[in-house]
Amino acid sequence: MLKLYFNILFFGFLVSCKSTPTNTSSEASYTTTRLPFSELVTTSHSNIKESKLLIIESKASLYSIYNNINKTRRPGYPIPKIDFEKYTVIGLFMGMQNTGGNSITIDHIKTNARETIVYYREHKSSGITTSIITQPCYIASIKKTNKPIRFEILNK
């Protein structure tokens, strides 16, 4: 009787165990590492009305973005001196928002053998907010990469 009890107990334990699925996709063969980034500017008034995610790889493009941001600002944000041989600039723009309290930020950046992925968050206002038109943006620099850069939102 004791043997039967242990067999039932063992069988119950065996059935309740879950196996861990094995990842057989090609993604598993890529080592992913985090990339550091440096915030250049974050503002709720970028003067850029369209929602867009930009990869800025030239001084002319960077100047154009900063000219837009500084259009209604005195003094304006200083335009950073970026060596585009060594660095790439990432620009996140939420577009026009009807209230205050909105923002956009880079959460983290990862890279693997195939690509670099920029993970970002959009923070939408909730509750009572100011009634103001905003255009939130976040601009950061990363080390230059020859891999394609992809953006992935974390909170949709």
Q: How confident is the model at residue 20 (pLDDT cuts 50, 70, 90)?
A: very low
124 within some domain: yes
Q: What is the pTM of this model?
A: 0.78
Is 65 or 125 the better-scoring residue by pLDDT?
Answer: 65
| pLDDT confidence tier of residue 11, bands split at 50, 70 and 90 | very low
Domain that holds residue 136: 32-153
Type of residue numbered 106 = I
64 part of a folded domain: yes
**How many independent structural domains does the chain possess?**
1
8 assigned to some structural domain: no
In the predicted structure, residue 86 carries a pLDDT above the cut 50: yes
In a domain, 65, yes or no: yes
Does residue 42 sit within a domain?
A: yes
Statement: residue 4 has pLDDT above 50: no
